[in-house]
Every structure is written in C-alpha cells, then in structure tokens.
C-alpha cells in the first residue's frame, strides 16, 4: 500500500472511529485487568496470611500440650518439610531475645521487629510485616504472634510462589492485551465501515448527480437508523431539487412563449415606424402602442420579481397590524364600478373589523388579485360573493363566483407561475395573479385552497392567522 493511500485512510472518519473504538476498548480491558489483578493479589496475600496464622495456632497448641523441647523439634521438622529456603521459625521472649529457631542460614537478613513486639505486648493477637531482604529476589511475609506466656513466635515465608503466580497472570495479560488491541482495531474498522456504508452511498450518489445522472437516488434500507433517515432526507431533497428544476424549465418556457408575442408586436411597430410615408398621427399611435406593450412587459417582470421576493421572505419584512376587513371593503369598492358595467353582482359580508399582523401592501395585492380573477371569469348576470369571518383563531376570506370554473386537470397547476387554463387564454393576463396571491398567503403563514367545477364557478378560500407566529 502506497504512502499516499495510507495518509488518505488516516484522514477518513472510519479510521478515526476505529482508533477511538480501539483505544476505548483497550483502556477498558486494561482497567478490568487492573481491578482483577488487585483482587487476585489480595486473595493470594490473604491465603498466605491464613496459612501463617494456621501454623501459629498449631504451635500454640503444641506448646500447650507438650514441653518446650517438642516445640523446637516441631519447628525444625516444619522448616525442613516446607524448605528451609522458603520458611523459617523463631521463638522469642517478650524482650525479643531468641529462645529457639529453625535453620536460619538462608535468612541472615531477617531481623526482629521491635515495633511488632511492642504491639504484641499491648495485646494484639498477631502482627504482619512484609520485608525485602538483601540477597533475596522475592519479598518475605512475616507474622508475629503470642503462642503462650512469655513466648512469641516469629514466622517468615518467602512470597516467591505468590510472585511467580502473579507474574504468570501479568504475562498472560500482556499477550491478551496485544490480541485485544488487534481484535478491537479489526472489529472497530469493520463496524465503522459498516456504519458509514450508507454515507459512502450518499456520497457516491452525489458524485454521480454532479456528473449529470440526475435520476440517481440512494437506496433506502429499512434499518430505522440515522443512515436510513439521512438517505430518506437526501432523496427528498433530490426530489425537491428535481421539482424546482422542472418548475424552472416550465417557467422559462412560459416566459419565452409569453414574451414572444409582445416583443414581436414591438418589433413590428418599430418596423412600421421606420417605413416611409407615415403621418405624424400614425407615428404617435404606433409610439403609444409600443409604450403600452413595454408596460405590459415591465408589469410581467415586476410581478415575477415580487413573487420571488415574497417567497424568499424579502418583501414585506416590516409587519404591522392590518385591518383585513377594511382591505376587503376597499377592494370591493374598487371593483364595484367594473362589476356594474359588466352586469355582475358583487356582494360582500363580514364584521366591521378583523385584524392580522402582516404586510399591508402584500395583503392588498392578494385580495385584489383574487377579486380580479373572480370578476374576470364571471359572465354578465353572474355573482361574486366575498365573505370574511373568524374561524378557530384563523381569519378566513372566501371568494365565491358563478363563473366558468376550472377543470379538474387544471386545478393542481393554477398557482404555478405563468400557468393559464385553456379557457382563460382568451382573456388578457400573464398567469401571475394567483401565483402572487399564493406567495403572499404562504409568507403570512397562511394558505389558499380552491374548489371548482367547470361552468359552475369557483370558491377561493384564504386562511390567515390572527397574529403571525414569531420568527
């Protein structure tokens, strides 16, 4: 494996997770062994102390049953039986003077502890000491105990067997720790790679999409973990982006289509102006028509910009208390001359005052656009009814008309920019009024719903919160 590849692996999240897992597992194993080793050392020492106390009790019994010479003989026998290099016995008087002892040739460094003798003299049953003697590799465990009147027994036992036993445990642990470290690193790498496999799939999908494979999606496995939720969210994001891209393409196509006609007319008017033999009146008329077409284009562009700003939350960022009932009344008064001229009945009902928090200009445009749309598509003799009421903490504006209605195929698309139903193409307009109204309602944390049937009319319902939620 090349150095570059090794360095690349060291920078991966999988490597860092593996390293952390191996360190935590190794430290945990070491802590468990340390606790085990301390307990084992305590058990081993307790066993040794118990054996020394049993020997002390045995000598005390011998002293009670037999004479002193028998005690000295028993000391020699016990020392030779266990090994004179492993154990010694020494009988002392209360002042620490030696009365008798086993073979002490290999225990020349073992002195008499005056402090221990004083403690025995004060009434303690036995006293333990651990000494390190010159010339001996392993420590010695010594016990002092009174075995009779004026008789104190000192016994010393080499801890070589205990030390060797603990040494075997340490060696076994050292080997085990190496195996544990290797095994934990391998398991950690396997678990990290398995846990991050979903992330790798998401990354590969993103790379494929960046190369143009926009139809690619991450395969979602029903594991219920964070990776599955990440894959689901990533796919939802891709679907949303695809929807936005499709919508952008449709808007672009509609713009190209809708701008083509006025631009062609402007070009035709300009060519006509350049042709010879035109009178001043004709020139003025052509100039006026050119200005009118330019105004139409500017209105379309400005409306689209307003929709974009509203959806982005830029427009109307300064909110204030707005009497929506007054806004509706003013809109109805504005359209009343138009409806009277067209022969359409315009009715309105609602309370004197209902207030919301929002952008007054945006709300005015929303109500005007919806009312204009209802009046435009309602023939003579029809009715447009505007109602306003409070419903469960929401202000509901309902616009009912008896116009041409909207087909079921067109209903899902009427709030899209520049979308126009087949039945509405004969009427002037850009297909932006409902899009702007929808954007304003959503910007105020509300919504617009529509129900309609062809040749029976439509009902547009706007719901707005009485007080806008805090941002």
Interval 325-337 mean pLDDT = 92
pLDDT band at residue 258 using 50, 70 and 90 as cut-offs: low
Average pLDDT value for residue range 16-24 = 80
The stretch 384-397 carries a mean pLDDT of 90
Window from 20-29, 124-133, 156-165 with minimum mean pLDDT: 20-29
- For residue 24, the model assigns a pLDDT of 84
Q: How many residues does the chain have?
A: 471
Mean pLDDT computed over every residue of the chain: 80
Q: Which of 112, 103, 164 is nearest to 138 (CA)?
A: 164
Look up residue 425 and give its two tokens.
């193409």
Query: pLDDT band at residue 177, thresholds of 50, 70 and 90?
Result: confident
pLDDT score of 384 more than 90: yes
Taken in order of first residue, the domains within the chain and their CATH numbers are: 13-165 (3.30.450.20), 226-310 (1.10.287), 317-465 (3.30.565.10)
Give dist(CA 131, CA 148) in Å, integer: 25
Average pLDDT over residues 156-160: 91
Residue 434 has pLDDT above 60, yes or no: yes
Is the pLDDT higher at 98 or at 290?
A: 98
Segment 114-140 shows an average pLDDT of 88
Judge whether residue 367 has pLDDT over 90: yes
Query: So what's the pLDDT on residue 470?
Result: 47
Mean pLDDT of the region 253-263: 64
Tens of pLDDT, residues 42-67: 999 999 999 999 988 888 888 877 65
Query: What is the spatial distance between Cα 327 and Cα 312, in angstroms, rounded to a whole number?
Result: 24
* pLDDT for residue 286 is more than 80: no
pLDDT value, residue 471: 40
Instruction: Tell me the helices (H) and strands (E) count for the chain, helix number first.
Output: 11, 12
Q: Quickly list DSSP for 356-368.
A: EEE-HHHHHHHHH
For residue 432, the number of C-alpha atoms closer than 13 Å in the C-beta half-sphere is 19
pTM of the full structure: 0.46
pLDDT tens sequence across 444-466:
888 999 998 888 889 999 999 87
pLDDT at 203 over 80: no
Higher per-residue pLDDT: 307 or 167: 167
Range scoring the smallest mean pLDDT among 361-365, 371-375, 413-417, 450-454: 413-417
Taking 70 as the threshold, does the pLDDT of residue 222 lie above it? Answer: no
How far apart are the C-alpha atoms of 142 and 128, rounded to whole Å? 6
Q: Is residue 278's pLDDT more than 60?
A: no
Rounded mean pLDDT of 99-109?
Answer: 86
Q: To the nearest 10°, the Cα dihedral for 48, 51, 53, 58? A: -160
Sheet order of strands, 151-158 included: 98-101, 87-92, 151-158, 140-148, 126-131
The model's confidence at residue 371, banded by pLDDT at 50, 70 and 90, is very high
Of 277-286, 390-399, 403-412, minimum mean pLDDT range: 277-286
Q: Which has the closest alpha carbon to 406: 446, 434, 440, 441? A: 434
Distance CA 425, CA 136 (A): 111
For residues 358 and 464, the answer to whether their CB atoms sit within 8 Å is yes
pLDDT at 2: 54
Average pLDDT estimate for 225-237: 74
Give me the residue label for tokens 């087909």.
Answer: 407
What residues contact 85, with CB distance under 8 A and at least 6 apart?
106, 158
């Amino acid at each position: 494996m090349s150095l570059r590849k090794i360095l690349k692996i060291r920078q991966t999240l999988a490597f860092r997770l593996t390293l952390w897992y191996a360190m935590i597992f190794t430290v945990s194993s070491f802590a468990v062994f340390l606790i085990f080793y301390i307990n084992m050392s305590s058990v081993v020492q307790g066993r040794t102390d118990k054996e020394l106390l049993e020997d002390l009790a045995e000598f005390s019994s011998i002293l009670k049953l037999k004479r002193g010479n028998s005690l000295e003989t028993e000391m020699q026998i016990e020392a030779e039986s266990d090994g004179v290099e492993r154990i010694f016995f020494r009988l002392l008087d209360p002042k620490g003077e030696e009365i008798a002892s086993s073979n002490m040739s290999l225990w020349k460094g073992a002195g008499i502890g005056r402090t221990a003798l004083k403690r025995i003299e004060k009434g303690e049953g036995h006293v333990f000491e651990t000494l390190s003697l010159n010339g001996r590799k392993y420590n010695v465990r010594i016990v002092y105990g009174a075995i009779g009147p004026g008789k104190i027994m000192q016994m010393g036992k080499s801890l070589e067997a205990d030390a060797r036993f603990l040494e075997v445990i340490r060696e076994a642990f050292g080997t085990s720790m190496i195996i544990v470290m290797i095994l934990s690193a391998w398991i950690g790498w396997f678990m990290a790679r398995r846990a991050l496999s979903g992330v790798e799939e998401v990354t590969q999908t993103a790379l494929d999409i960046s190369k143009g494979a926009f139809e690619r999606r991450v395969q979602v496995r029903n594991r219920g973990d964070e990776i599955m939720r990440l894959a689901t969210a990533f796919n939802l994001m891709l679907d949303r982006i695809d929807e936005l891209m499709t919508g952008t393409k449709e808007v672009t196509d509609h713009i190209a289509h809708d701008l083509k006609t006025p631009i062609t007319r402007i070009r035709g008017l300009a060519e006509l102006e350049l042709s010879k033999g035109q009178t001043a009146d004709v020139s003025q008329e052509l100039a006026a028509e050119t200005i009118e077409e330019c105004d139409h284009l500017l209105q379309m562009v400005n409306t689209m910009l307003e929709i974009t700003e509203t959806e982005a939350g830029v427009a109307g960022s300064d909110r204030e208390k707005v009497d929506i009932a007054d806004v509706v009344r003013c809109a109805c008064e504005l359209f009343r001359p138009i409806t009277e001229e067209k022969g359409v009945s315009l009715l309105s009902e609602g309370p004197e005052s209902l207030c919301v928090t929002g952008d007054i200009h945006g709300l005015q445009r929303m109500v005007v656009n919806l009312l204009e749309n209802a009046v435009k598509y309602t023939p003579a003799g029809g009715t447009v009814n505007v109602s306003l009421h409070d419903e469960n903490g929401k202000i509901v504006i309902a616009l009912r008309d008896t116009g041409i209605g909207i087909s079921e195929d067109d209903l899902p698309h009427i709030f899209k920019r520049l979308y126009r139903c087949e039945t509405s193409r004969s009427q002037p307009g850009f297909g932006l009024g409902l899009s702007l109204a929808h954007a304003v309602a959503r910007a105020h944390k509300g919504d617009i719903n529509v129900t309609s049937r062809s040749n029976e009319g439509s009902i547009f319902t706007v719901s707005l919160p009485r007080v806008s939620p805090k941002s």
